[in-house]
């Protein structure tokens, strides 16, 4: 398997799925710019990956905000100076909160949509412009979620953002295909990450619910499960694949989802007249 480029950018790369994707791309031959909001996290992640790579490939940290165009352009410029113009982009950065629609502040809705949807739009637009100008092929992978297919109470903003991201990816795949830039989506289910474990999504009642709804018979996957699929989509093995969504959820999408809010016991009756 050969990656389409030896230079890559992964957003949300300081931990969890993003870190796993960056690690896999490096093992498969790419140098990676780790884009994240927290300097300490991306710097620690880069040190960890560089130690494991033993000089075969390199990771460079970059602290920035995916909804700031100036941060995005600086990141692309840095990756280009260090490794050459990135032909691989993985839009992984995302956020979520758990709150009923009737109680959701507008600011919270806007923040989730900005990071989960506007961020991938801006990064895709800026890098695609550079790739088209350079007549260079590329592969863009947007990390969506099981929630683009199966919704749950309390995640209206998150589910909406991920469904929109899937359709955004189809449109960009159509528009960019003539330039030999492929765009695909990976939709993970429950994955063992610090965020998921910290929120209690993989143990107790929630863990039992995921187990019951996952045909492959375990409550969650690992970051490497997602990373392997991303690397495939960024390789010559997927040269005829674009505009598609690959679910990495142990089959969870087949059976649908329970209500996170109900399972965690945080949904309360809301009087719409108040």
Rounded Cα distance between 63 and 137, Å, is: 26
151 Cβ contact list (under 8 Å, min separation 6):
159, 257
In whole angstroms, what is the distance from residue 67 CA to residue 115 CA? 7
Contacting residues for 41 by C-beta, under 8 A, at least 6 apart: 14, 15
Is 158 one of the catalytic residues?
yes
Return d(Cα 161, Cα 40) in angstroms, integer. 28
Cα 6-11-15 angle, rounded to 5 deg: 105
Closest listed residue to residue 32, CA positions, set 70, 88, 72: 88
62, 158, 168, 232: the catalytic one is 158
Query: How far out from the chain centre does Cα 79 lie?
Result: 19
Q: What is the DSSP letter of 115?
A: I
Q: How far apart are CA 212 and CA 238, in angstroms?
A: 32
Burial class (CB in 10 A: 0-12, 13-18, 19+), 207: middle
Q: Which pairing describes strands 31-36 and 59-63: parallel, antiparallel, or unpaired?
A: parallel
- Which run of H or of E encompasses 27? helix 16-27
Distance CA 272, CA 27 (A): 53
> Would you please indicate which residues are annotated as catalytic (active-site) residues?
158
């Amino acid at each position: 398997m050969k990656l389409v480029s030896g230079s890559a950018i992964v957003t949300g790369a300081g931990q969890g799925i993003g870190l796993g994707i960056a690690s896999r791309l490096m093992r498969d031959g790419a140098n990676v710019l780790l884009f994240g909001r927290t300097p300490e996290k991306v710097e620690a992640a880069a040190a960890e990956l560089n130690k494991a790579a033993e000089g075969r490939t390199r990771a460079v940290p970059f602290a920035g905000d995916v909804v700031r165009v100036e941060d995005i352009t600086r990141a692309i410029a840095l990756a280009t100076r260090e490794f050459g113009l990135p032909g691989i982009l993985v839009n992984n950065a995302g956020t979520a909160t758990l709150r009923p629609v009737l109680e959701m502040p507008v600011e919270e809705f806007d923040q989730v949509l900005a990071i989960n949807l506007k961020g991938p739009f801006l990064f895709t637009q800026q890098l695609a412009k550079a790739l088209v100008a350079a007549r260079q092929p590329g592969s863009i992978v947007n990390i969506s979620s099981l929630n683009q297919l199966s919704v749950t109470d309390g995640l209206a903003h998150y589910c909406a953002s991920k469904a929109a991201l899937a359709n955004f990816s189809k449109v960009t795949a159509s528009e960019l295909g003539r330039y030999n830039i492929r765009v695909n989506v990976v939709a993970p289910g429950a994955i063992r990450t610090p965020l998921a474990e910290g929120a209690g999504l993989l143990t107790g009642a929630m863990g039992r619910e995921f187990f019951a709804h996952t045909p492959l018979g375990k409550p969650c996957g690992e970051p490497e499960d997602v990373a392997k699929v991303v690397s495939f989509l960024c390789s010559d093995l997927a040269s005829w694949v674009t505009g598609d969504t690959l679910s990495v959820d142990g089959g969870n999408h087949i059976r649908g989802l329970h209500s996170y809010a109900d399972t965690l016991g945080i949904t309360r009756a809301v009087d719409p007249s108040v």
